A and B are shown apart, each in its own frame.
Chain A
Amino acid sequence: MTGERALPYLLLAPSLLFLALLFLWPLAEAFLVAFSGPGGQWSLVNFREMAEDLNFADAVRNTLLLVAVVVPIQLALALGLGVLLGSLDRGRDGFLYIWTIPLGISDLAAGILWLAMLSERGYLNSLLAALGLVEGPVLWLSYETPLALFLAVVVAEVWRATAIVLVILVAGMQLIPKEYYEAAEVFGAGAFQRFRRITLPLLKPSIQTALILRTILAFEVFAVVVVLGGRDLPVLAGEAFAWQYDYRNAGVASAYAVLILTVSLAATWLYLRLLRVREESLA
């Protein structure tokens, strides 16, 4: 039965070959390009050029700040919505569908959508004017108002990408046996106690997964920022794009890509350390 033994490998081979060609190879090549000088020799010149660029420090700071602000908000919001969903008597499917709509919306479209809200003659200013808080159109999305621009990106990212955290958490919540809650109620545990003592600990693997995935994606934040602020709010992926597309400098662009990968892996490692999950619950 050698045919039978070879079959799984034959079935895996095409996908493995594809992933090797389009994941492992470009990954290796990005490192080669990033770490090589003009003559092809080993060199840190690309990283030096990257670090000496005017936008570099801002891009690092903005990206880290965005991750630090956006991801916790998304986690808290998704936890709240997940618990809320469990407390509803009716209409769960409908609400869940509405709340997960942003899953299908690209970061570019989400950026454009919030541009319609926040532009000079947009809906936010109209609302503020109706409340008597502003006199006329106010410019929020400009390099002169970096804080407002930053907050705009935060709002757009929270709007767009909380849904993925929600779905991962709700999937996890569905695995928690109902009996645990019933038992807790019998012993007089209130809603908050049940959340803290049952939901949170049993949801840890899902929380870990959601945090890792969202953080990796947040380090790549790109189109939302470009639509709302252009390069007035530099971020790492935006700089990588600009160096590749506008300056035609693949070396520095790859250096940025390597940097993004490094911080993503570092964050993943950190989450795995901080939220240690026992092996058996990861199955």
Chain B
Amino acid sequence: MKPRRFLYLSLALLASVWVLVPIYLLAISAFGGPETINAWPKGLLPARISTATLAFFFAVRGVWDAILNSILVAALTMAMSILLGAPAGYALARFVFPGKDGYRLLVLLTRAFPIAILALPLTVRFIEIGIYDTVFAVALVHTALALPFAILVSSSLFMGVPKELEEAAWTLGCSRFQAFREVVWPLARPGIAATMIFAFVVSWNEVFAASVLTLRERTLTAFLLTSLNESPLHFRFAGGLFLIVPALVFIFAVRRYLFSMWGIANR
């Protein structure tokens, strides 16, 4: 048995190295200063630790605005997807009604639509109604991406709260709304928070729609994508690292909900 254990552990470590080493190498590319970027051949340690590359990145005109826009868009996406999605999730979890299956099917179907088919026609419409090139317009499209997940995940969260608890609150004189606020909401809250973080990440990472829907109000992804041809390598590396770091934190924060997020939402 012993050698087999060792083999399994080695394979698991190998897979971890495969995931982590590229991230580490990007990090030292971004923190190594110009010497590391131009070094040949490169070593596994940076020539020196320096914040010169990152300082250069943040000093480029438009970077801070793009970061701010990314955060705003993601926050709006987070708020809209939960405000629209949680009530629908509650309805799916607690009620039996005609049209329920049709609604579920519609929500599932939205995942088959490529982002291009949403973003391109919306560009034209957004120009017409005057919200093209705004943070709000990008957030609308990102909400369309995150909402199906918010609906399905919050529905499974509410299903996880025993109906008996809610009914007990009714018999004690709570209205439906009070029972929801006092009993269901506190129990579902951690999961709802994870769903919101998930919506934030979806928006933070989205490239295509953000790039076609903005000209000046760039999100960070749109800014990086559209400046690829003009920007030096170390600028791109710093930008890439800056995109990755929040995502790492977010995935760590929602790791307990990973399966309910992806496992259930994809059924």
Using CB atoms and an 8 Å cutoff, list the residues of chain A in contact with chain B.
Answer: 5, 7-9, 11-12, 14-16, 18-19, 22-23, 25-27, 29-30, 33, 81, 84-85, 87-89, 91, 93, 95-109, 111-117, 119, 121-123, 125-126, 129-130, 136-137, 159, 164, 167-168, 170-172, 174, 205, 209-210, 213, 216, 219-220, 222-223, 226-227, 230, 237, 240-241, 244-245, 250, 253-254, 256-258, 260-261, 264-265, 268, 282
Contact = CB atoms under 8 A, between A and B. Distances in A.
Contacts of B125: 26, 29
A245 to B, nearest CB: 6
Given A16-B103, A98-B19, A222-B208, A22 B141 contact: yes
B132 interface: no
Interface stretch (B59-67, B111-119, B181-189): B111-119
B41 A130 contact: yes
A11 B124 CA distance: 30
- Is chain A's binding surface mostly helix, strand, loop or mixed? helix
Q: Most chain-A CB neighbours within 10 Å: which of B8, B121, B201, B258?
A: B121
Nearest to A97: B255
Contact of B8 (A84, A115, A220): A84
Contacts, number: 279
B221 A123 contact: no
A23 B113 contact: yes
Contacts of A14: 83-84, 87-88
> 3 shortest A-B CB distances, which residue pairs?
A171-B263, A112-B240, A106-B205
A99 B39 CA distance: 30
Interface in B1-25: 5, 8-9, 11-12, 15-16, 18-20, 22-23, 25
A28 B60 CA distance: 40
Interface in B213-267: 221, 224-226, 228-229, 233, 236-237, 239-240, 243-244, 247-248, 250-252, 255, 258-259, 262-264, 266-267
A30 to B, nearest CB: 5
B233 A119 contact: yes
B211 interface: yes
Contact of A95 (B16, B103, B141): B16
B33 interface: no
Contacts of B206: 106
Contact of B42 (A91, A113, A122): A122
Select the residue from B90, B120, B251, B263 with max chain A CB neighbours within 10 A: B120
B140 A22 contact: yes
A148 to B, nearest CB: 17
Contacts of B39: 121
Nearest to A6: B97
Nearest to B8: A87
Contact of A168 (B116, B237, B266): B266
Interface in B87-113: 87-88, 90-92, 94-95, 97, 99-100, 103, 106-107, 110-113
A89 B143 CA distance: 41
Nearest to A137: B40
Interface SS of B by simple majority:
helix
Interface residues of B, number: 96
Given A22-B143, A81-B15, A167-B263, A11 B88 contact: yes
Given A12-B92, A26-B121, A220-B115, 15 more contacts: A7-B176, A11-B87, A18-B84, A19-B148, A22-B144, A33-B121, A99-B15, A100-B258, A112-B236, A126-B43, A216-B111, A220-B114, A260-B114, A261-B117, A264-B112
Interface in B164-210: 176, 201, 204-208
Given A7-B95, A11-B90, A95 B120 contact: no
B121 A95 contact: no
Given A116-B29, A171-B263, A237 B201 contact: no
Contacts of B54: none
B26 interface: yes
Contacts of A23: 110, 113, 118, 144
B153 interface: no
Contacts of A97: 251-252, 255
Given A105-B247, A168-B263, A223-B207, A19 B147 contact: yes
Contact of A117 (B25, B116, B121): B25
Contacts of B262: 103, 164, 167-168, 171
B95 to A, nearest CB: 4
B143 A18 contact: yes
Nearest to A94: B16
A129 B113 CA distance: 44
B147 to A, nearest CB: 6
Contact of A104 (B40, B94, B119, B247): B247
A105 B244 contact: yes
A22 B122 contact: yes
B74 to A, nearest CB: 12
Contacts of B43: 126
